[in-house]
């Protein structure tokens, strides 16, 4: 699903699927980060949490790290500790206030976003991200600004691309998410008398994409494929240069 904010248009593939809810998996780190900052569980994005010495499958996770680093490498153990520090009462309060997906927290506080309890649709993801982009969520402007900078993955003279991936298991399938927003950058020449003194214009687009593949399917690197698909779609709609 792609929301073109500049023309107030929506483009999508598979209408039934974009309104269907799935577990958010690691895309929930966007929300989790906002709550951590807002409640001062994380004073800022430099909060260091010590590694618990439980060896992870990816070597880059096996160390102490701050929130910005944990977001970049998508560290589950870091964000599980963050959720525990936030606690169920405060987490539920923000889920309800934001109306994030189905707002359900079943099971432990450190796994409800990966145990298929909490669910959200692509349509809801893009609505949530649009509010984040314009700082319209019920969080401080500072919290939203910090999380937006954490999401920045690609920065070029022609565009900025912000996103978070997520991978979760449902039955015998993996669901592969990628959600975020892109800014197409254009330069215009303003007349001298114009009140707008900058010649740079940012045109935002909001997106949410997911697909499922059998856990046993290793025919492709699906982690990379989802990013390739996103780039292809954004190029087709001229959000990114071809």
What is the C-alpha R_g of the chain?
18
CB neighbour list of residue 122: distance below 8 Å, 6 or more residues apart: 1, 12, 17, 18, 19, 179, 208, 209, 210
Residue 26 annotated among the catalytic residues of the structure? yes
3-class DSSP state of 131: helix
**CA dist., res. 186 & res. 157, Å (int):** 9
- The angle at the Cα of 87, spanning 56 to 162, to the nearest 5 degrees, equals 60
Strand partners, 152: 162
3-class DSSP state of 235: helix
Is the CB of residue 31 less than 8 Å from the CB of residue 181? no
CA proximity to 166, closest of 43, 79, 66, 93: 79
CB neighbour list of residue 194: distance below 8 Å, 6 or more residues apart: none
18: left (phi over 0), alpha (psi -120 to 50) or beta: alpha
Q: Which of 26, 75, 121, 143 is catalytic?
A: 26
Is the CB of residue 223 less than 8 Å from the CB of residue 167? yes
Provide the annotated active-site residues: 26
């Amino acid at each position: 699903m792609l929301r073109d904010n500049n023309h107030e248009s929506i483009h999508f593939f598979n209408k039934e699927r974009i309104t269907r809810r799935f577990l958010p998996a690691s895309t929930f780190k966007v929300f989790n980060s906002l709550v951590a900052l807002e409640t001062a569980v994380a004073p800022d994005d430099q909060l260091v949490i010590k590694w618990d010495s439980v060896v992870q499958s990816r070597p880059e996770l096996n160390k102490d790290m701050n929130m910005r680093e944990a977001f970049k490498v998508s560290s589950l153990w870091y964000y599980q500790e963050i959720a525990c520090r936030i606690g169920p009462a405060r987490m539920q309060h923000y889920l309800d206030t934001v109306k994030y997906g189905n707002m359900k927290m079943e099971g432990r506080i450190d796994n409800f976003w990966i145990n298929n309890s909490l669910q959200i649709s692509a349509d809801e993801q893009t609505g949530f991200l649009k509010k984040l982009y314009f700082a319209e969520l019920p969080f401080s402007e500072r919290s939203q600004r910090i999380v937006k900078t954490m999401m920045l993955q690609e920065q070029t003279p022609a565009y900025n691309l912000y996103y978070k991936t997520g991978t979760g298991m449902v039955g015998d399938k993996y669901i592969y998410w990628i959600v975020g927003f892109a800014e197409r950058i254009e330069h215009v020449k303003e007349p001298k008398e114009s009140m707008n003194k900058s010649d740079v214009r940012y045109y935002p687009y909001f997106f949410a994409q997911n697909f499922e593949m059998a856990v046993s399917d290793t025919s492709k690197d699906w982690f990379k494929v989802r990013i390739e698909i996103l780039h292809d779609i954004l190029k087709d709609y001229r959000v990114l240069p071809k």
